[in-house]
């Protein structure tokens, strides 16, 4: 039997289908998503929850003339399937395949922006609406799909306020799947929304407003009283009064799995010509019991077995796990330690800390700027806040790091998980800029551990420091260098010698120490003796080590998994150039000045010459130049 999905190549194909066929299409798309993500990994729960919502939206709009903007973009798999990428969907998140997020390079007519951070969509929509109206391109409809968690971010609030002020015609769909910010769907609510979306009701409402405005004094008073009565009734019966006060017409809540109701609502608001917000209730993981029962576990899932839901286990302990365990230990010893994260307690390893010390654990939601400003207040109160946020998301709080923390010289500890290349998620999630943007800030100390013991020691040191500091590590397992385990305390600004050598010096940082050691072992076989130093600190640099090595080596190679521009290697070169009369040459290995596409971490590092073979090749290249 032919599947409905086989008949759908582009959005306009949906308009040929009956309601039962659209519902069958939803079941088939859900099966395809589950099958693909089980093999490739990806964002499962959020995508399963928005299948019917996406179908209804594409059915009502005229794509690609109209525009859909997906906030964050981790719920856009159905959108990809319906917009010509069905045949490539098996390549999801694979090297050279389609991205797990909307990507302007894949199809600029359907993906207006490359997106992976939250709360940007309403600002984009308002800008597009103003552009549409300035050039008078006609009735282009602009729809935004934003989750309840993303709506709590300050940027979304600012955009809502500005949109209401300008009274621009955009449709914001609030995908409410987690926080239960709404009252239950009821018959009266459904009735009120049918009335409010009725073309006849809205035409009469508009005509009455015009008529009353022509009546001096009495007309405006009557109109104001009528609007107050309407708002009062909606405030009692519908949970959207706040949006109405911002200038949006509010409709909902409606079921995000009810295709006919959504189509009716989307079509009914099309001619209002003003900002509207439609509140849609969806269920994360819909249609796959394991994801429905454990939506957080299947938010960003690895490979799994469809029948049992069992996920493939990672081999070895991750940096994140080491951080979480050390935080528990430190929290037991020091009651002044407070843990803060921005909607990622599980992803950052702080879940157990939160369970054991609930009074000293704060999840701010998707509000990185607030999280850092909040941490400043906690520190000023005499506590030791540890702010754990993914590297790419900490970028959003750059000003707060400078103004609220470093300018005040407050002892906040920043822990940057997912630093460097992040597997499979692409340019929006790679944490490659942190070394460059953190080292330029006065009063900031920046560290990068190379293994388990180093991370534990750095956390111990961070608890003793008065200035603010940052510790960054990758989404990866901790390496084992086979060295003797000691309880030695790290000294601020001191590197460690990993292996001696005489032909070339490698100064590696953090996760790059392991491939540098492997490269040295490879070069040993070719009678090339390489000395390897674990830098440990980006700021302050170990200047004594640099001066001592400059007397022995004429060529340094620095290795980091961040952008070269302004990064760790730049700091080394700047110091040597500015402080030595005859400085050695410094060759910097790192990530290029570009946004790297998604792929496996090992593959992307190899492509950039940051694996053992690539580092060894660079050593031989620069040795030949020296000769």
Looking at the annotation, which residues are catalytic?
284, 368, 396
DSSP state for residue 419 in the 8-state scheme: B
Nearest by Cα to 267 from 191, 202, 197? 197
Sheet holding 585-591, edge to edge: 496-499, 530-534, 504-508, 555-563, 585-591
* DSSP track, 467-493: S-EEEE--SSBPP---PPP--PPPPTT
* DSSP track, 593-623: SS-PPS--HHHHHHHTT-SHHHHHHHHHHHH
Q: Mark 29-63 as b/e (b = at least 16 C-beta within 10 Å).
A: bbebbbebbbebbbbbbbbbbbbbbbbbbbbbbeb
**Separation of alpha carbons 416 and 367, rounded Å:** 16
Q: What tokens appear for 500 in the block? A: 């001696």
Torsional sign, CA 140, 141, 146, 150: positive
Nearest-Å Rg of the Cα atoms of the chain is 28
Alpha helix (H) ranges present in 389-508? 391-394, 398-400, 434-439, 452-462
**Separation of alpha carbons 307 and 302, rounded Å:** 15
């Amino acid at each position: 039997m032919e599947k409905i999905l086989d008949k759908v190549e582009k959005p306009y194909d949906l308009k040929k289908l009956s309601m039962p066929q659209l519902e069958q299409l939803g079941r088939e798309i859900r099966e395809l998503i589950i099958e693909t993500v089980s093999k490739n990994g990806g964002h499962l729960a959020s995508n399963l929850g928005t299948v019917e919502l996406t179908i209804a939206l594409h059915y009502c709009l005229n794509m690609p003339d109209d525009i859909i903007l997906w906030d964050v973009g981790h719920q856009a798999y159905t959108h990809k399937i319906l917009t010509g990428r069905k045949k490539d969907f098996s390549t999801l998140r694979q090297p050279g395949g389609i991205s797990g997020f909307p990507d302007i390079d894949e199809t600029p007519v359907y993906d207006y922006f490359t997106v992976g951070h939250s709360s940007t969509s309403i600002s984009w929509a308002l800008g597009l609406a103003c552009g549409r109206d300035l050039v008078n391109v006609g009735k282009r409809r602009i729809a935004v799909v934003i989750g309840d968690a993303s709506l709590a971010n300050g940027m979304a609030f600012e955009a809502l306020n500005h949109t209401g002020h300008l009274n621009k015609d955009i449709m914001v769909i609030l995908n409410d799947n987690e926080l239960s910010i709404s009252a239950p769907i009821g018959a009266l609510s459904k009735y009120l929304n049918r009335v409010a979306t009725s073309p006849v009701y809205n035409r009469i409402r508009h005509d009455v407003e015009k008529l009353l405005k022509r009546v001096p004094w009495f007309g405006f008073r009557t109109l104001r009283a009528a609007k107050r009565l309407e708002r009062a009734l909606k405030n009692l019966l519908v949970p959207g009064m706040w949006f109405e006060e911002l200038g949006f017409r509010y409709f909902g809540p409606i079921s995000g799995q009810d295709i006919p109701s959504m189509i009716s609502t989307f079509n009914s608001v099309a001619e209002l010509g003003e900002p509207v917000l439609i509140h849609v209730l969806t269920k994360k993981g819909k249609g796959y019991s394991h994801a429905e029962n454990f939506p957080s576990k299947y938010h960003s899932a690895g490979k799994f077995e469809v029948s049992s839901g069992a996920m493939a286990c990672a081999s070895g302990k991750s940096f994140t796990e080491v951080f979480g365990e050390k935080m528990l230990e430190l929290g037991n010893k020091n009651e002044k330690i407070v843990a803060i994260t921005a909607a990622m307690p599980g992803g950052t390893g702080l879940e157990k800390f939160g369970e054991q010390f609930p009074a000293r654990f704060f999840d701010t939601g998707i509000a990185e700027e607030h999280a850092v400003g909040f941490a400043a207040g906690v520190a000023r109160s005499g506590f030791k806040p540890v702010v754990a946020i993914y590297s790419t998301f900490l970028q959003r709080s750059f000003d707060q790091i400078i103004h609220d923390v470093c300018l005040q010289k407050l002892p906040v500890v920043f822990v940057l998980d997912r630093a460097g290349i992040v597997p499979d998620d692409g340019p929006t999630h790679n944490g490659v800029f942190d070394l460059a943007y953190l080292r330029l800030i006065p009063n900031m100390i920046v560290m990068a551990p190379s293994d388990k013991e180093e991370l534990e020691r750095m956390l111990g040191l961070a608890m003793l420091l008065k200035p603010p500091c940052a510790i960054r590590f990758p989404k990866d397992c901790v390496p084992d260098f086979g060295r003797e385990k000691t309880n030695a305390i790290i000294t601020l600004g001191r590197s460690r010698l990993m292996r001696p050598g005489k032909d070339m010096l490698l100064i590696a940082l953090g996760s790059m120490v392991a491939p540098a050691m492997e490269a040295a072992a490879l070069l040993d076989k070719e009678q090339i003796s390489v000395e390897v130093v674990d830098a440990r600190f980006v700021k302050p640099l170990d200047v004594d080590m640099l001066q001592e090595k400059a007397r022995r080596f004429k060529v340094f190679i620095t290795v980091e998994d961040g952008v070269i521009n302004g990064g760790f290697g730049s700091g080394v070169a700047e110091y040597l150039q500015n402080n030595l009369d005859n400085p050695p040459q410094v060759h910097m290995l790192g990530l290029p000045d570009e946004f790297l596409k998604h792929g496996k971490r090992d593959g992307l590092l190899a492509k950039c010459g940051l694996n053992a073979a690539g580092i060894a090749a660079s050593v031989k290249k620069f040795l030949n130049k020296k000769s």
